[in-house]
Structure 1
Amino acid sequence: MDGGAAREFTEFVSARGRALLRTAHALTGSQHAAEDLVQTALAKALLRWSRLHGDAEPYVRRIMYNEYVSWWRWRKRRAEVLTADPPERGTPTGEDTALRVAVRAALGTLPPRQRAVLVLRYLEDLSEREVADLLGVSPGTVASQASRALATLRGRMPELDGVEAR
C-alpha cells in the first residue's frame, strides 16, 4: 500500500470509525464484539483499499453486515448463548434514556436478520432497497422482516404502541 492510500485509510477510520462502531454495537449488543466486528471489517477493506474508488463506507458496512451474519451462524452451530444485556454505562436517568435502554435490550432478543434490518432501516436510515442490496435479499423480505421485528418489539414493550417507524 502506498503512502497516499495509507493516509486515505487512516483519514477514513478517523472520520467514520465512531459511526461504524455505533452500528456494530447496535448489531452485536456488546462493546467487545462491536470492536471486533469493526476491526475485522476494516482489516478486510484495507486489503482492497487501493482498488476502492469513491466512497468506501458502503463497502466497509457491507463487510460488517456480512461478518455479523456469518458470526451469528457460526455461533448458532456451536449453541453458544449470546447476551442481550447492554454494557454497563452507569445508571440511566430520564424517561427517554430508560426507553432507549429497554429498546436496546429488546433488540438483543431479536433474530440476527431482523435485528440487522431494524438497525439498517432505522438507525442507519437506509431505504428498503439499500437494506435489501446490503443483505442480499429482496425489498419484500426487508419489509416483512421489519414488520415482524417491530411487531415482536411492540409485543414485548407495550410502551412502543404509539411509536411510528419512520
Structure 2
Amino acid sequence: MSRLAAMLTGDPDCADDVAADALVALWHRWDRMRRADHPLAYARGVVANMARTRIRAAVRERRRITLFWSHRPERVDAPDVATALDVRRALARLPFRKRACVVLRHALDLSERDTALALGISVGTVKSQTSKGMAQLQDLLGTRTTEELVGRRSR
C-alpha cells in the first residue's frame, strides 16, 4: 500500500501517511472489505482515492501560497511598531476565516474574487466575513485606528 501511494503521490513520506490512513479507513469499513469480491482491489482503491485527495489538497495549498506571496507589501520607512503589535493582537482574537479575509483584502489588497479563490470560499462569504471582521477590529482597536490602517477601500 505504501509503495502504491509513493508511486501515486511521488513523495515517500506522504505515501506512508496515506497508507496508514488507508489502513485506518479499511479497519473502520472492515465489513465492506470482507464482503468485497476483490478485497485487495478494494484496498488499492482506498489508497488511490486518499492519494488523490492529498494531491488535490497540496495543489490547493500551493495555489494559496502563490497567491499570497504574489503581492509584495509596500515598503515603509518608519513603521509604527506599537500600532503593528496592537493590530496583530487584535487580529489574533478574530476567528480564522474573518482574520484571513481581512488580511487578504486589506493587508495584501486582494480583490474579493482573489480572496475567495485563495480561501476556497464564495465571494459572498468573503464580503460578509470581511465586513464582520472589520467591525470586530473596530471594536477592538477603535474606529480612528482602523480607518488609518485601512486607509482606502480595497477593490
Which structure: greater helix fraction?
Answer: 2
Answer with 1 or 2: which has the greater Rg: 2
Q: Normalised by the size of structure 2, how large is the TM-score?
A: 0.45
